[in-house]
Chain A
């Protein structure tokens, strides 16, 4: 098993903004087909970590390897072409265009004309927006725009999918469906999911990585993490107390 190289590997990854250290010496490994959850309080460096993985930020130090391919500091579109797709924290969609056009743009870059048509229909079905396919994305609700963004990520058919707070702003019912979709995607793809909703984490997680003050605090099974006293202190403790 150890002969298979990891899908994603970061070594000593550090990001500084002036005096602020957003990520400090992060060593993170993700295997093929793995589903990993990232948790941690606000400002723990989760989104910064995602931005470095997708080329939106160039790390101050350290390396990122995607299937042994160094990608740290590469342009976003180059990394996307290697097969990393991301749903960002604040919905990043084409607001002035229709739902269908959003999905089409994601699918058509690599797929043939016929395949694109098929992917668009499938994705619309999957995110349950077929009836709203002609609606303008900017006029949809926050939850629906989240779905559109997840749809664009799926339509591009990446090898690794990063989801930054996919369940934010969704109803309970939608959250359950998101969890289902994530498990379904995980049958063929690797995922990293950042989420605050512990119920949601319990629904999908196997291994959980906890970020705290830019560093990895602990990386264990979901049960072990939930039982860990340090995690309670930095993150869950607040929730339990509240």
Chain B
């Protein structure tokens, strides 16, 4: 498939997604719409890890640290300001700065992948314990009480920009969340086509070679990490907007692990994979949960095992390879093998390289 063909497929997919977001409230009931709003906010979180892991080569076991910090930053700011507009900004800025500080020590200290996983995991546990022990009046920021293990209830949800009286209805929240998901996807897609994105992928491919060509891998990885933190923080704000509540369980390890499962199932090294995996698994888990006959974690584990063994590349790359090889088969038949050589080369497109 040529580059222009790929681009048109991508643009078409984004347009379909936009139309789906716009029409969804007319086809599903309010409860389902709320569910999809939750899934979409989680999909933004999945995208943040899918980006730094799949394209930056940084396996962060504690992406929920930034997600949770974003959620708390939003909650504290929204309660204090009474307006969600600056609060959303805070939900992006605070986790970004945290990622910048953490990433600086990790990447400039040349800490390798495994230890990065351990450190991010530990940071998440620390944050959980810190926020869990903030019960009492002394843990108040402005007028916002952090509330310890009870969390912060009745957090103001999104309002119209700079208009606290114009509170959004659930339909509007769906539009915002779905819109943010599409915007983040398109933004990351564009970034990956830019110089910085291409260098980031090069650093993932071979750090030594990148350095020997004059790129500083530490700086590149740091910015990828910070961007991942910013997106995860934004997802945190979307999550609080959905539930009007944030508690320390947002830092729970189970969620961190779940994001990794979403990405494994959807497809590492793609942007659409984490979104697909997130929606699919969350939908499945919510269906199992409503039946009460199976333990959803058991099913989740079984699915993961099946995927690791049978579809190690994940859903999206496997499907794409099938479609592409079908495409080439048709092309081969047409040309009756006259240009078989050229096709072999074209078939060698890598997973997630575009």
> Which residues of A approach B to under 8 Å, CB–CB?
54-56, 75-77, 80-81, 85-86, 88, 92-98, 101, 104-106, 108-110, 132, 134-136, 138-139, 152, 156
**When the two chains form their complex, are residues B214 and A81 in contact, meaning their CB atoms are under 8 A apart?**
yes
**When the two chains form their complex, are residues A94 and B211 in contact, meaning their CB atoms are under 8 A apart?**
no
**When the two chains form their complex, are residues B208 and A136 in contact, meaning their CB atoms are under 8 A apart?**
no
CB distance from B343 to the nearest CB of A (A): 12
Given A80, A95, A132, A156, which contacts B345 in the complex, CB threshold below 8 Å?
A: A132
**When the two chains form their complex, are residues A75 and B206 in contact, meaning their CB atoms are under 8 A apart?**
no
For B273-311 the 0/1 string (1 means CB < 8 A from A) is 000000000000000000000000000000000000000
Question: Can you list 29 A-B contacts with CB-CB less than 8 angstroms, sorted by A residue number?
Answer: A76-B211, A76-B212, A77-B211, A77-B212, A77-B216, A77-B217, A80-B212, A81-B214, A92-B208, A94-B202, A94-B209, A96-B205, A96-B350, A96-B353, A97-B201, A97-B353, A101-B198, A105-B210, A105-B213, A108-B195, A109-B213, A134-B346, A135-B345, A136-B350, A136-B353, A138-B350, A139-B348, A152-B213, A156-B213
The interface residues of chain B lying within 8 Å CB-to-CB of A80 are 211-214
B: interface residue count bin:
20 to 34
**When the two chains form their complex, are residues A85 and B212 in contact, meaning their CB atoms are under 8 A apart?**
yes
The interface residues of chain B lying within 8 Å CB-to-CB of A105 are 198-199, 202, 210, 213
Q: Is B32 an interface residue, CB under 8 A from the partner?
A: no
* Nearest opposing residue in chain B for A55, CB measure: B211
Q: Is B215 an interface residue, CB under 8 A from the partner?
A: yes
**When the two chains form their complex, are residues B212 and A54 in contact, meaning their CB atoms are under 8 A apart?**
yes
Interface centre among B201, B210, B213, B345, by most A CB within 10 Å?
A: B213
A42 to B275, CA, bound (A): 51
The 8 closest A-B pairs by CB, nearest first: A80-B214, A76-B211, A94-B205, A92-B209, A77-B216, A81-B214, A77-B211, A105-B202
With A96-B350, A96-B353, A136-B349 as contacts: A75 and B205 at CB distance below 8 Å: no
Given A54, A77, A93, A132, which contacts B206 in the complex, CB threshold below 8 Å?
A: A93
A81 to B212, CA, bound (A): 9
* Nearest opposing residue in chain A for B219, CB measure: A77
A134 to B199, CA, bound (A): 18
The interface residues of chain A lying within 8 Å CB-to-CB of B215 are 77, 109
The interface residues of chain A lying within 8 Å CB-to-CB of B214 are 77, 80-81, 109-110, 156
* A56-B212, A86-B212, A88-B212 given; 15 more Cβ-contact pairs under 8 Å: A76-B208, A77-B216, A85-B212, A85-B213, A94-B209, A96-B201, A96-B353, A97-B202, A97-B205, A97-B350, A105-B199, A105-B213, A109-B213, A134-B346, A135-B345
> Which residues of B approach A to under 8 Å, CB–CB?
195, 198-199, 201-202, 205-206, 208-217, 345-346, 348-350, 353
CB distance from B210 to the nearest CB of A (A): 8
A76 to B199, CA, bound (A): 16
CB distance from A102 to the nearest CB of B (A): 8
Given B205, B208, B212, B345, which contacts A134 in the complex, CB threshold below 8 Å?
A: B345
**When the two chains form their complex, are residues B353 and A98 in contact, meaning their CB atoms are under 8 A apart?**
yes
The interface residues of chain B lying within 8 Å CB-to-CB of A97 are 201-202, 205, 350, 353
A51 to B195, CA, bound (A): 28
The interface residues of chain B lying within 8 Å CB-to-CB of A132 are 345
CB distance from B213 to the nearest CB of A (A): 5
The interface residues of chain A lying within 8 Å CB-to-CB of B211 are 55, 75-77, 80
* Nearest opposing residue in chain B for A92, CB measure: B209
A136 to B202, CA, bound (A): 13
CB distance from A190 to the nearest CB of B (A): 17
**When the two chains form their complex, are residues A95 and B216 in contact, meaning their CB atoms are under 8 A apart?**
no
A86 to B345, CA, bound (A): 28
The interface residues of chain B lying within 8 Å CB-to-CB of A98 are 353
CB distance from A145 to the nearest CB of B (A): 12
**When the two chains form their complex, are residues B205 and A95 in contact, meaning their CB atoms are under 8 A apart?**
yes
A56 to B207, CA, bound (A): 12
* Nearest opposing residue in chain A for B211, CB measure: A76
**When the two chains form their complex, are residues B346 and A93 in contact, meaning their CB atoms are under 8 A apart?**
no
The interface residues of chain B lying within 8 Å CB-to-CB of A106 are 213
The interface residues of chain B lying within 8 Å CB-to-CB of A109 are 213-215
CB distance from A112 to the nearest CB of B (A): 12
